Amino acid sequence: MNASPDKTLMAQALEVQKKAYAPYSKFKVGSVVTLANGKSYAGCNVENACYSVGICAERTTITKAVSEEGPGIKITSVVIATTSSPPSAPCGLCRQMINEFAAPNCRIILVNPTGEVAEFSHQELLPHSFGPASMGVKTSTP
């Protein structure tokens, strides 16, 4: 992926970030996942008065992608927009959720509204992961 599609995805993540429902933390997060089949999905965090019911942007987005595309999705990148400086990396729960569907070399791209960008591989953020193979499960492909 070259710089230009990345910029489009970052702009989309910053756009969906504005839709976040975060009246408690005031910490709005937007994310876009790209898939091996060329499609992409966007989502935001959605909080709840009963705090533990809230869901992070990345998990919202991945559940959207699975719901639309089915269980065989392979995530090639996750673009995450926060207001932090430097831009925040995904929480542990979201790293685990990404892990379930991550394609090899899955990229994690972090951005904020001032234009700071950081990039990691999923493997860097969740080394020695516990995943389908740990359970002896071979996940389906479409």
Give catalytic residue positions.
Answer: 58
Largest CA distance in the chain: 44
Of 5-13, 89-97, 106-114, 117-125, the window that binds ligand THU (rule: CB under 6 A) is: 89-97
DSSP per-residue string spanning 36-52: TTS-EEEEE-B--SSGG
Q: Which of 1, 27, 68, 85 binds ligand THU (CB under 6 A)?
A: 27
- Is 139 a residue that touches ligand THU (CB under 6 A)? no
Q: Distance between CA 87 and CA 29 in Å, rounded?
A: 11
- Is 75 a residue that touches ligand THU (CB under 6 A)? no
Q: In this structure, what token pair is assigned to residue 15? A: 């756009």
Total residues binding ligand THU (CB under 6 A): 13
> How near is the Cβ of 94 to ligand THU at its closest, in Å?
4
Please say whether the beta carbons of 85 and 112 come within 8 A: yes
Q: Distance between CA 81 and CA 138 in Å, rounded?
A: 32
In the complex, the residues that contact ligand THU under the rule CB under 6 A are 22, 25, 27, 29, 45, 47, 54, 56-58, 90-91, 94
